[in-house]
Structure 1
Amino acid sequence: MDFFIDGKWTPATTSRTIPVVNPATGETIDSVPAGNAVDADRAIASAALAFKQWRKVPMARRAKLQHAAAQRLRERVEEFARLLTLELGRPLAGAKIEIERAADLLDYFAEEGLRLRGEIPMINEENERVLVVKEPVGVVVAIAPFNYPITLLTFKLGAALMTGCTVVAKPASDTPLTTLLLAKLFHQVGYPPGVFNAITGSGGELGRALVEHPTPRKIGFTGSSPAGKRIAAMAAATNKRLTLEMGGQSPAIVCRDANLDVAIPALVRHAFANSGQFCYRVNRIYADREIYPMFIERFARAAAALKVGNGLDLGCDMGPIVSEEIFRTSVEHVADALSKGAQAAAGGARLLGGDYDRGYFFPPTVLVDTQQSMKIMREETFGPVVGVMPFASLPEAIEMANDSPFGLAGYVFSTDLSVALSTAESLEAGSVWVNNIHRSYNMVPFGGYKESGLGREKSRYGLEAYLELKTIYLSTAQ
């Protein structure tokens, strides 16, 4: 598969390619070009030329096109979901949900874009007016990770296109195929050539070329904190605008009065969805000492009941981990915890035998009696491994929850709503769920404190992140 630049499939200037491997079988399903600085320049030039006209397109027309893209995506959900399962490994049902939610987000941004407003301050000076207007920031480089490649791209794409920006997207090398197909879909529903371009390659070579290029005015990035910091440093040379959604190491606090019939299914679902490969998953759990034995017994039993297999198999709850590199972190975190006195109440070792030998399958793993110094409690695992430890008092639990350079999400379970709310307010996190774990809604902002990010995505705040403010002083006197 080639790049998609300027409304057409475009071959790379290099013969180097990157294989796309099905993580459930180890089979190569396709390959994509390994782009370089010359390819980056071609894609950016196309976006820059298209921006001159796209910024002038009426908002109603942009909204109509974005709704059309969302509808076409829904019509092709089976095709996109199957391709996503093949390149990512996630169970097919979850892949379908991702595509549907991406379409919903495109629709949301289309409607929210129509509600954008400028201002005319009431300065009350004769023959003078001041206009505060909002303009598209320009060409946007959108860098998305492998774990939710379409959803996390639409966080950026839907906002950028509605505000009048043009986009060069760089998907992760593990999951590039759905992004390339999405770029073609947008062109098919009527987007002008160059408005949405997709180009593939490594983060080191192609990513650097895109970020350091002088033309783009904004970088929208989702990925690890180290990568985000490198992007911020490179972007500083040309003072690019940034939205960075980076790593997480999200804590959950389970109080002694928590409703475990609600808490345990929610925590299991949110710890092991997508094989634990998402940034705001539950990575560590602090349970009140009084309920700790009962909690770990029920939580471990529920985790062990999840079915692991090929994402195309019916009834599969978890697929493989996407690559050996991501797989190694789970192995390392489990080994570190066990060597320091933790116990595996569920899982703990790679699944082997039969079809398991063909992919990187790791079971839902619950490590109990962990300590705050262990890697599972401090580093982002990005795999189906959770650390659990008891706490003696709520202030102690809050202190341990906040003892992290990350601050993306937090979770609190207590039937005392006063305690639950005050605990939520004490957590250093951009989003906190209380007494259940719902999806992250489109109309509210998403992002993190501390090293978990910069800026917010989704909602009107995420939309306005792709706009510049301009003040116009107008004298009406002749």
Structure 2
Amino acid sequence: MKIQMQVIEVINPCNGEVVGVCPRATENDAAKSIEAAHEAFKKWKKVSVAERVKLQHKAAEGMRKHAEELAQIIANELGRPIAGCLTEISRSADLLDFYAEEGLRLKGEIPLHNIEGEKALIIREPIGVVVSITPFNYPITLLTMKLGAALVAGCTVVAKPSEDTPLSTVRLGQIFEEVGYPENVFKVITGYGHEIGHTLIEHPLVSKIAFTGGTNTGKRIGQAAAAHNKRITLELGGQSPAVVCADANIEVAAAAIVRHGFANSGQFCYRVNRVYVHASIYELFVDKMVELAQKLTLGSPFSGCDMGPIINQKIYQNSEVQVADALEKGASIRTGGKRLTGELYDKGWFFPPTIVADANHSMKVMTEETFGPVIGVMPFNSNDEAITLANDSEYGLAAYVFSENLAIALRMAESFEAGSVWINNIHRSYHDVPFGGVKQSGMGREKGRYGIEAYTELKTIYLNY
């Protein structure tokens, strides 16, 4: 009797319809994938860097060639507007190209000890099999941050995407095969983390786990990896503050915060979650935020709207719970705050851009990650108070400050406990600089040469001649 393979149904968060299926892997499947990647590593680590670079550029071009297809897949499984999905593919392809070129610049060293007949050689070697575990919100970007660095360094990768958005990662794996990557150098395994996570993390042939996701899950992965002495990169939760000083350009600051805070329906880790505004401009600034937020449109990803739905009920509930908590503790909702209903919205998880004014640190919206389109705003009276409030968090992924006085802005940026700080603008992180967090927001850095070095081990060779 033929045993039917178990599958995961991928649901469109706009309407609840099934948009595809993927295999529901078992622990045995995970083990086989790791073993296959380990066998592939034995050959891949010996491939010249020039050849790895050549293949990675081909993969980037393959992504651009199939950009419309990949974007359509993401739009259907995530619900994000199609324009944002196309941008994700474009930026991810650019990141692969950047990593490829940076891979050519990896170097070893020979210290000048000046000892006759002796040299010490410091070289870098690929770390081995890497397990990449990524969330739903940017399924391709967050994978390529790991994948591009690991592959060009000579590692092989087993990727486990979120069960909410696996289809785009599966298609990306096929594209890598199509451009000529050797079998099992980049493998994709789909399944539920609670069913296969133990094997992916603790298998003896895995050398490193690269994880992006929630802080609690990251802690468990870190503990399990430490028990087996495995390397880790953890990019975890965020609760990022923005400080708007008395002399800030209100138009610029409000536009940047609203654009960034509500992008992807608030579903990303370094979004603006809480805003501190100097008391002298507080009401004016909140009014401007409300004006801009109310111009944002919600709908299906193919309607030309600004925002789509939240991915599922579990993530959606964060926004609802935080709004209720803030209201109970004395805040006011200046716009949004209730789930959208009607023919366009009833089958999906649509929550409007929401601004919670008169917030304080007794409220969840100011202390817990929302991962939804809700921003808390509170006033402050001095810049030192603003710094204290911004750092009053277990998280430390990103922070933002707006001030026309660059001395003030730089002092604040240096004082913030965060891995990245933006001054007077908010844009995407660059490919050539490190990205990651401090405190409970993670461990290690991605992007730039720092991201590639994280997939290598240093070895010292003592040479006598």
Q: Structure 1 length as normaliser, TM-score?
A: 0.96
Identity, % of aligned positions: 59
State the Cα distance separating 1:287 from its structure 2 match. Answer: 0.2
From the superposition, tell whether residues 208 and 14 of structure 1 become closer, same or farther in structure 2 (CA, over 3 Å). Answer: farther
Instruction: Map 1:270-419 to 2 at 5 A.
Output: 270-314=260-304, 316-419=305-408
Partner residue of 2:431 out of 431, 442, 448: 442
Partner residue of 1:255 out of 238, 241, 245: 245
State the Cα distance separating 1:264 from its structure 2 match. Answer: 1.0
Partner residue of 1:154 out of 141, 144, 149: 144
* AA partner of residue 220 (structure 2): R
Q: SS of the residue aligned with 1:178?
A: helix
Q: For the Cα contact (< 8 Å) 1:201–1:207, is it kept in 2?
A: no
State the Cα distance separating 1:238 from its structure 2 match. Answer: 1.3
State the Cα distance separating 1:136 from its structure 2 match. Answer: 0.1
The answer to whether 1:171 aligns with 2:165 is no
Superimposed CA distance per residue, residues 369-414 of structure 1 (whole angstroms, 9 cap, x where no aligned partner): 0111100000000000000000011111110110000000000000
Superimposed CA distance per residue, residues 291-338 of structure 1 (whole angstroms, 9 cap, x where no aligned partner): 001000010110111001111112x00000000110010100000001
2:456 counterpart residue number: 467
Instruction: Map 1:85-124 to 2 at 5 A.
Output: 85-124=75-114
* AA partner of residue 167 (structure 2): L
1:223 counterpart residue number: 213
Q: Separation in 1 of the partners of 2:417 and 2:162?
A: 29
Structure 1: unaligned runs, 5 residues or longer: 1-11
1:199 counterpart residue number: 189
Q: SS of the residue aligned with 1:287?
A: strand
Q: For the Cα contact (< 8 Å) 1:307–1:318, is it kept in 2?
A: yes
Superimposed CA distance per residue, residues 72-102 of structure 1 (whole angstroms, 9 cap, x where no aligned partner): 1001110000110000000000000000000
State the Cα distance separating 1:15 from its structure 2 match. Answer: 3.0
Q: For the Cα contact (< 8 Å) 2:61–2:93, is it kept in 1?
A: yes
Q: Separation in 2 of the partners of 1:90 and 1:112?
A: 31
The answer to whether 1:214 aligns with 2:199 is no
The answer to whether 1:145 aligns with 2:167 is no
Superimposed CA distance per residue, residues 235-287 of structure 1 (whole angstroms, 9 cap, x where no aligned partner): 11211100000000000000010011211111011100000000000000000
Structure 2: unaligned runs, 5 residues or longer: none
Superimposed CA distance per residue, residues 77-132 of structure 1 (whole angstroms, 9 cap, x where no aligned partner): 10000110000000000000000000000000000000000001111111101100
Partner residue of 2:9 out of 14, 19, 28: 19
Q: For the Cα contact (< 8 Å) 1:14–1:34, is it kept in 2?
A: no
State the Cα distance separating 1:13 from its structure 2 match. Answer: 8.7
State the Cα distance separating 1:16 from its structure 2 match. Answer: 2.6
Q: For the Cα contact (< 8 Å) 1:431–1:446, is it kept in 2?
A: yes
Q: Separation in 1 of the partners of 2:204 and 2:4?
A: 23
Q: Separation in 2 of the partners of 1:454 and 1:205?
A: 25
* AA partner of residue 153 (structure 2): T
Q: For the Cα contact (< 8 Å) 1:301–1:346, is it kept in 2?
A: no
Q: Separation in 1 of the partners of 2:4 and 2:120?
A: 52
Q: Separation in 1 of the partners of 2:157 and 2:228?
A: 18
How many residues get paired?
464
Q: Separation in 1 of the partners of 2:205 and 2:314?
A: 33
* AA partner of residue 318 (structure 2): T
Q: SS of the residue aligned with 2:132?
A: strand
Q: For the Cα contact (< 8 Å) 2:251–2:288, is it kept in 1?
A: no
The answer to whether 1:233 aligns with 2:199 is no
The answer to whether 1:33 aligns with 2:29 is no
Partner residue of 1:456 out of 410, 435, 445: 445
1:55 counterpart residue number: 45
Q: For the Cα contact (< 8 Å) 1:13–1:38, is it kept in 2?
A: no
1:4 counterpart residue number: none
